[in-house]
Amino acid sequence: MLPMIGLVEHERTTVRLSFAAAAGWIVAFSRAFWYQAGLTEVYLLNAAIFAGVIVLVIRAVARQERRWFWAACALCGVGAANHTMTFAILAPGLGVVGVWLATRQQMTAKSRKRRPLAPSEPLTRRLARLFGPALLLGLLGLTLYAYLPLRAAKEPPRNWGDPSSFGRFLWSVRGGEFARNYLLKAQPGVPFDSNTYPPFFRRRIGEWLAWTGEQILPLPREQTALCALVGFIILAVSFAGWMSVARQMPIFAAFLAVAAGVNLFLISIYNIADIQGYFFPMHVISVICIFVFCAKMHYLAESRLLAARSDLLAALFLALPAIAWLGGRSHCDHSNYDAAERYGREVLARLENDAMILTHGDYDIHPLWYQQVVERRRRDVVVLGANWLATPGYAKSFAGRYDPPVAAPQLSETPVGAEAFYKVLVEEVMRPNLERRPLYSTQFDSRMKARAEQIEIPVFQDDSEVNVDERPYLPKPWLYRLQSVRLNSTSVSH
């Protein structure tokens, strides 16, 4: 956030530095950013790359130097290798900045003298000279994807998408499973229509406003309406700050507006559970604009009021990071948190030799994988992710690894609807594995039970608990409690 110094209207460097640093701190202490720092997810790195591109764009616009624009494009390519959302959000705005630079005089890094970019040349040639290197540098960042087939050849414990062939490589790079199941979909395989999209859109905007409201102020998450109201106020202040940026640096303001617009469009058509990670770029933009607005208010107060009052106003603005830190500490500080690790350890300890356990999400499969792959515990147990059955190459990963062999069907696509999914799970996974090994499941609702009983597999359950404290790590209760009963030829474990 330090390049924000150039956006803050004040003659004192210390004041500009303070507001820029406060903006960086409030992003770091925002509840979702802090929380994501303890997870192996792509979203926080994506936000860091997004902020880095903003830094380079500010310099490219302020100094009118192509090298900073090219550096921004290269970093955008690296970000796209981390998450394709980076390219989708940044590419249109970078295109706007590039066209602007192609029509401006350039300042060389050596002489610091303004030199026209051959104004007599046709615009198309100037655009080619600017965007040609930019495209090559962006593609250079994308070469990080070359690691996927190399790693897949080593048969890792998790080989998502099996990018060992060119077709599977492209499927993995473009996020084929997510685009197919969640983009413009009311549920996997079911597109939006005029009845399902309007309520989804209203709910998604409400989620975004509430999420924004709880990032800076320590608001109770269950008070959704209050969080949404505060989020609306924050966005209104952000817009006022953006107007101030537009007066100082119009092309940079246009870049922010395009990036925010594309980001908002994406969250309004993408029906994925962890959508909060897609709010991060907009939050970075909001914080920049908020502190530009705060610095502007301080400047006006200092010029019209007593200096002491203006310093008090500055202190109030700069206290926001401390408020965010206090509000998020209890929720986000997991320095001594080991519930997921203990969950995996205690669940595996309860299973018989050569047992099989069906998991139903990232929250239960990863603790078990960690125990098997890293701690090397209970590697005889078959951990099968039920929600992975439609992932290319997943079924192949079980071939030849276990005795007796594992029946894991390779589905061409995810079954649409719970009934269809449970039908496949019970008839193609539970039934063929029933006679081979003890079978357990971390989730078993009434619909799955009914499907099992239709083919004469009675279901039993007890209330045995996994001894893991229920602390604020994940909202799913089955992370902390596994109700398990031995599954043999006449019973299904729950």
Task: Judge whether 458 and 490 are in contact, CB under 8 Å.
Answer: yes
Alpha-carbon torsion angle 212, 217, 220, 225, nearest 10: -50
Per-residue pLDDT of the chain (494 residues; tens, 9 = 90+): 555 555 655 556 666 777 777 888 888 888 888 888 877 788 989 999 999 999 999 989 988 889 999 999 999 999 999 988 889 999 999 999 999 998 875 544 444 444 545 556 777 888 888 999 999 999 999 999 999 888 888 877 677 777 888 888 888 888 777 777 788 888 777 888 889 999 999 999 999 999 998 887 777 766 788 888 988 999 999 999 999 899 888 999 999 999 999 999 999 999 988 888 899 999 999 988 888 887 777 777 666 655 555 566 667 777 778 887 877 777 777 777 777 888 888 888 888 888 888 887 777 788 888 899 899 999 999 998 887 777 777 777 787 788 888 888 877 666 666 677 777 777 788 888 877 888 887 765 555 566 555 555 544 444 444 444 443 334 343 332 333 333 333 333 33
Q: What pLDDT score was predicted for residue 451?
A: 58
Residue with token string 């993408």: 270
Question: Shortest CA distance to 342 belongs to which of 161, 471, 191?
Answer: 471
Domain shared by 154 and 301, yes or no: yes
Percent helix, strand, coil in the chain (nearest 5)? 65, 5, 30
Task: Decide if 490 is inside a domain.
Answer: no
DSSP type of residue 415: P
Residue 483 structure tokens = 């109700």
pLDDT of residue 311: 63
Retrieve residue 156's tokens: 């890792």
35 with 137, same domain? Answer: yes
Name 358's bridge partners.
Answer: 384, 441
Residues 108 and 179 in one domain: yes
410 and 281 both lie in a single domain = no
Name the token pair of 374.
């890293």
Q: Which residues contact 216 (CB under 8 A, 6 or more apart)?
A: 26, 30, 234, 320, 323, 324
Residue 312, classed as helix, strand or coil, is helix
Asked if the structure places residue 454 within a domain, the reply is yes
Taking Cα atoms as reference points, which of 373, 342, 377 lies closest to residue 479?
342
Same domain, 250 and 201: yes
Residue 270 to residue 278: CA distance in whole angstroms: 10
- Rounded CA separation 2/56 (Å): 12
Phi, psi of 119 (to 5 degrees): -60, -20
Verify that 363 and 465 share a domain, yes or no: yes
DSSP labels for 54-118? HHHHHHHHHHT-HHHHHHHHHHHHHHHHH-HHHHHHHHHHHHHHHHHHHTSEEE-TTT--EEES-
User: What DSSP designation does 8 have?
Assistant: S
Domain count, the chain: 2
Q: 394, 396, 395, 454: which is closest to 423 by C-alpha? A: 454
Q: Domain boundary at 279, 306, 332, which?
A: 332
Indicate the residue among 332, 347, 363 that finishes a domain.
Answer: 332
- At 436 the pLDDT is 83
- Looking only at the bridges linking them, the beta strands covering 439-441 and 356-359 are parallel
Task: State residue 123's pLDDT score.
Answer: 79
Report the distance separating Cα 73 and Cα 77, nearest Å. 6
Cis peptide before 404 (omega within 30 of 0): yes
Same domain, 169 and 302: yes
Of 24, 40, 54, 45, the C-alpha closest to 325 is 24
Say how many Å lie between the first and final Cα of the chain, rounded. 50
Indicate the pTM of the whole model.
0.78
CA distance 342 to 65: 53
Q: Based on the domain organization, do 320 and 355 belong to the same domain?
A: no
Query: Would you state the pLDDT for residue 79?
Result: 93
Strand ranges (E), 341-424? 356-359, 382-385
Cα(343)–Cα(291) distance, integer angstroms: 42
Token representation of residue 137: 């540098």
User: Is there a domain that residue 487 lies in?
Assistant: no
Q: For residues 351 and 381, is the Cβ–Cβ distance under 8 A?
A: yes
Please work out, in degrees rounded to the nearest 5, the angle formed at the alpha carbon of residue 454 by the alpha carbons of 450 and 460: 55
DSSP structure class, residue 414: P
Q: Are residues 348 and 278 both part of a single domain?
A: no
406 shares a domain with 318? no
Buried b (16+ CB within 10 A) or exposed e, 398-409: eeeeeeeebbbe
Residue numbers of the domain that contains 448:
339-479
Tokens encoding 344:
């995996």
Residue 34 has a pLDDT of 85
210 and 263: one domain?
yes
Q: Are 365 and 282 contained in the same domain? A: no
Could you give the 3-state DSSP secondary structure of residue 385?
strand
- Tell which of 332, 361, 390 closes a domain: 332
The neighbouring-strand residues paired with 185 are: 191
